[in-house]
Amino acid sequence: MDFKIMKILQPLSIILMLAFAVPVTQAATCATTDVTVEGINAFACKTHPGENDTGYAKDINGDFNLDTSIIWDGIVKSDDPGSTLMFDEANKTWAITDAISAPFVVVIKASNDFASYLFTLPEVAKTGTFSLIFSHVTGNGQTKFHGLSHISIYTTSNGAGNPVPLPAALWLFAPALLGFLGFRRKNKV
């Protein structure tokens, strides 16, 4: 199909999907393609239906099965006064004025739900997109859509105060290397 036609049909298909209440991605499900950073999909995602993201930094390692020594000490929220993080819900884009470095977690929050997305790439990021639509079915069977409350980005300063653990193979390799050096020294004498 011609690229120009696809570019025209894509917004039209989104409008039709919303108009006819076709099932959409909800906070109860997520996909790594829901959020992108500099054109790269998330490494992993996790949903949190019925939860608030306040204090989420302490739960990130468990959500994504990460090393517990990683400390998520940076947070930028789009709804904080003077925030450098902004989003455009109509165009499904977000941007941050100060570049962030991987790894980082992007949190999309609406109503009483949020979804988190772990990124290990790109190394430096300033812009992204999102396609997650928050909704729920009311008691009378109607689908109710929720606008975004805010976007948060959690970063880590891993490296400044947190040493990177050595791989287990190094502990096996180091004694062998020392043995070879000792053997070489012995042969020289």
pTM confidence score: 0.67
CA distance 59 to 70: 11
Q: What is the mean pLDDT of residues 26-45?
A: 86
Give the pLDDT band of residue 132 (cuts 50, 70, 90). Answer: confident
Mean pLDDT of the chain: 77
HEC readout, 84-152: CEEEECCCCEEEEEEEEECCEEEEEEECCEEEEEEECCCCEEEEEEECCCEEEECCCCCEEEECCCEEE
Q: How far apart (Å, rounded) are the C-alpha atoms in residues 95 and 151?
A: 10
By the 10 Å C-beta count (0-12 exposed, 13-18 middle, 19+ buried), 48 is classed as: buried
Residue 171 has pLDDT above 80, yes or no: no
**77-85 average pLDDT score:** 93
Confidence category of residue 178, pLDDT binned at 50, 70, 90: low
For the ranges 15-19, 108-112, 120-124, which has the lowest average pLDDT?
15-19
d(CA 43, CA 45): 7
